[in-house]
Amino acid sequence: MAEAGGANSALMALCRSPELADGGQAVPFDVNYAGQTCRAFAVRFEGRPHAYLNRCTHVAMELDWQPNRVFDNSGQWLLCASHGAAYRPDTGACSGGPCQGGLVKIDLSERDGLVFWHTSYKLKAIEF
């Protein structure tokens, strides 16, 4: 495990780069966020990978009712299937519908054909 961004951040392997198609299916992963196990997902948008907790800010529900389908048909917005909250794929900011604030963003980096997520103070790897 490589250290990055200081003593409290580590890089965790998430997936291979080709698994994230632009505007395509999300790749799910699990994190420990503030002491709780949470689902998270990664997507690619305009060439860059982004990841968020899979938790709508309207009601704390997962966005996808069809597994890993988080983009709308246009591939321009992340859409919550429950009541249609829309989020920007690159920032997670609320951009329409009943969302209250933006999605919790998880830092990623990509190199050598692999995508990694970054742990942080609140965001840790799941311990087995």
Provide the binding-site residues for ligand FES, judged by CB under 6 A: 56, 58-59, 61, 80, 82-85, 97-98
Cα separation, 109 vs 119, in Å, equals 11
**Nearer CB in complex with ligand FES: 15/61:** 61
Which of 102, 118 has the CB closer to ligand FES?
Answer: 102
User: Tell me, what amino acid is at 80?
Assistant: C
Give me the residues paired with residue 106 across strands: 51
Query: Residue 46, SS3?
Result: coil
According to DSSP, the residues that pair with 123 across neighbouring strands are 33
- Closer to ligand FES at the Cβ: 5 or 96? 96
Shortest CB 62 distance to ligand FES, Å: 9
